[in-house]
Amino acid sequence: MKLWDKGFSTDKKIDHFTVGNDRELDLHLAKYDVIASKAHAKMLGKIGLISPKETAELVKELDNIAARIEKGTFSIENSFEDMHSKIEYMLTLSLGDTGKKIHTARSRNDQVLVAMHLYLKDELTEIKAMTKSLFNLLLVKAQEHKDVMLPGYTHLQIAMPSSFGLWFSAYAESLIDDLYFIEAAYKVSDQNPLGSAAGYGSSFAIDRSFTTKEMGFETMKYNVVAAQMSRGKAEKATAFGIANIAATLSKMAMDICLYMSQNFDFISFPDELTTGSSIMPHKKNPDVFELVRGKCNKLQSIPNQLTLVINNLPSGYHRDLQLVKEIIVPAIQDMKACLEILTFSLKEIRVNDSILDDPKYDYLFSVDTLNELVQSGMPFRDAYKKMGMEINAGTFTPKRDIHHTHEGSLGNLCLKEIHDKMKKLN
């Protein structure tokens, strides 16, 4: 069944090519098509296009379909093009002509739009919650290990003293920036496009304010052409939010892979969180974190992929837009998987609390030793030169009893302030 069926069949090759993997992807979206269809049915009843009895029957049957989706027994067979055709078929099968009336005053185009907007709202909310869970864990770890020293690097060269408190809380605060993008994507998605039909509105006197409120949107996309043009745009906004979180997770995963190596030996994990080698019995590989790194690097390409699909399309609907779904839906699932596994794994991280006992890290303290000379009255340039000469001569004696006090430093992590900053996000 196709919503655009005019009584003649399409060549099977054309059908297969144009449908693609919509049936599989639509299983993620079917719940939202039902939500939108219920709101639409109630609106049709409100304006008198269908009777109160027909409205009640449609809503009841849509609830039955929603229950099947929730139980996982809803399917989209090959005889159906997508979720829209399957759901309308089920309504017609149960209700006869009443089921055929559900498509009055709407197009498959605004059906896709509204289902995607509702889907993105829910998924963005879940991604935000999962990101906050990781954030909270990182702050707990920062507090727990705040006094454990860690080498800081620039150019992958030993640079200045850091700490696990700084390391954990740095990634925590970075996630706040990432959630600003998620918030923006949510705001873009929180606009009701239903009622734009094929992109130019309807001659029926529909009530878009009613469906906006019924579905829980903050506002509607008022201009019907603007509503049509949001297809791809909301997905792209979401992709930018995902890409920002992915960049943070990828960088942390890279740190973990480095820090787990025998050359660094800064951290470790229980055996059950690592993998072995088929021939080297000593190996404890960071496969989980390598896959997080790889998946998150792929996720950072999603905004560009969407740009290449939708770039320079004129206003109005084009079939190119179907491809947007197959980019964003898997990306969202990968993002959630990475957040989940990283949060799960980091709960078990073990830190080495004697890293800086190794003499090779003495040079970490050159700047602090230099600064002590400056505080005693020596000009900075003279102190810098003196330190350089001592290092070259091998007579440098590090000042290890460092004391950093400014906001955000080793001795003043500002964990409460970082926590409060996150709380300001809705």
> DSSP per residue over 108-171, as a string?
HHHHHHHHHHHHHHHHHHHHHHHHHHHHHHHHHHHHHTTT-EEEEEETTEEEEEEEHHHHHHHH
Identify whether residues 38 and 172 lie together within a single domain.
no
User: Tokens in use for 331?
Assistant: 């990306």
Last residue of a domain, one of 353, 374, 392: 353
230/223 Cα distance (integer angstroms): 11
How far, in Å, are 178, 214, 287, 352 from residue 282 at the CA level? Answer: 38, 60, 15, 19
In a domain, residue 382? The reply is no
Provide the 8-state DSSP code for 203: S
CATH code, domain with 38: 1.10.275.10
pLDDT the model gives residue 275: 64
Q: Are residues 88 and 191 in the same domain?
A: no
What confidence tens digit (pLDDT) does each residue in 244-276 have?
999 999 999 999 999 999 899 999 988 887 665
According to the model, what pLDDT value does residue 414 have? Answer: 94
Residue 132's pLDDT is: 98
Say whether both 116 and 242 belong to one domain: yes
In the listed set 104, 120, 152, which residue is the last one of a domain according to the structure? 104
Rounded to 10 degrees, the C-alpha dihedral 132/134/136/138 comes to -140
233, pLDDT greater than 60: yes
Give the range among 7-16, 145-154, 366-375 with minimum mean pLDDT.
Answer: 7-16
In a domain, 278, yes or no: yes
Q: Are 344 and 227 within one domain?
A: yes
What pTM, to 2 d.p., does this model score? 0.90
- As a 3-state breakdown, the chain gives helix, strand, coil percent values, each rounded to 5, of 65, 5, 30
The confidence band for 9, taking pLDDT boundaries of 50, 70 and 90, is low
CB atoms within 10 A of CB 159: 15
pLDDT value, residue 4: 43
Q: Are residues 323 and 317 in contact, defined by beta-carbon separation less than 8 angstroms?
A: no
Q: How far apart are CA 172 and CA 163, in angstroms?
A: 14
163: β partners: 149
Classified as helix, coil or strand, 272 is helix
Between strands 191-192 and 219-220, the pairing is: parallel
Let me know if residue 282 belongs to a domain: yes
Q: Decide if 295 contacts 334 (C-beta within 8 A).
A: yes
In a domain, 149, yes or no: no
Average pLDDT of the residues of the chain: 90
Query: Does residue 119 sit within a domain?
Result: yes
User: Pick the residue with more confidence: 76 or 182?
Assistant: 182
Tell me which of 302, 337, 353 is where a domain ends: 353
Are 255 and 137 part of one and the same domain? Answer: yes
pLDDT of residue 303: 97
Confidence bin at 8 (pLDDT 50/70/90):
very low
Is 209:220 a contact under the CB 8 Å cutoff? yes
Question: Which stretch of 5-9, 25-29, 192-196, 296-300 has the lowest confidence by average pLDDT?
Answer: 5-9
Is 50 exceeded by the pLDDT of residue 143?
A: yes
Shared domain for 84 and 123, answered yes or no, is no
* 377-396 confidence digits (pLDDT tens): 989 999 889 888 988 888 88
- Is 179 within a domain? yes
pLDDT interval class at 375 (50, 70, 90)? confident
pLDDT at 15 over 60: no
269 & 179 share domain: yes
In angstroms, how far is CA 388 from the centroid of its own chain?
A: 47
Whole domain around residue 254: which residue ranges?
109-141+166-203+223-353
Instruction: Note whether 190 and 288 are same-domain residues.
Output: yes
pLDDT band for 10, please (50, 70, 90 cuts): low
CATH number of 243's domain: 1.20.200.10
Region 109-119: mean pLDDT is: 95
pLDDT in tens, 35-48: 999 999 999 999 99
* Lowest-pLDDT choice from 116-120, 291-295, 334-338, 395-399: 395-399
Dump pLDDT digits (tens) for 185-204. Answer: 999 999 999 999 999 999 99
177 plus 31 within the same structural domain: no
- pLDDT of 369: 86
Q: What is the tens place of the pLDDT at every residue in 163-178?
A: 999 999 999 999 999 9
Amino acid occupying residue 35: I
Q: Compute the half-sphere exposure of residue 379: CA atoms within 13 Å on the CB side of its CA.
A: 3
Same domain, 172 and 267: yes
346 in the same domain as 266: yes
pLDDT of the residue at 286? 84
Q: Is the pLDDT of residue 6 over 90?
A: no
Q: Give the DSSP letter of residue 81.
A: S
219: Cβ contacts below 8 Å, ≥ 6 apart? 190, 191, 192, 212
pLDDT of residue 278: 47
> pLDDT > 70: what percent of the chain?
92
φ, ψ of residue 363 in degrees (nearest 5): -70, -15
Percent of the chain scored above 90 by pLDDT? 71
Query: How many structural domains compose the chain?
Result: 2
Q: Are 374 and 364 in contact (CB under 8 A)?
A: no
Same domain membership, residue 77 and residue 16: yes
Q: Across residues 329-356, what is the average pLDDT?
A: 95
Predicted local distance difference test score (pLDDT) of residue 194: 96
- Alpha carbon 280 to its chain centroid, in Å, reads 37
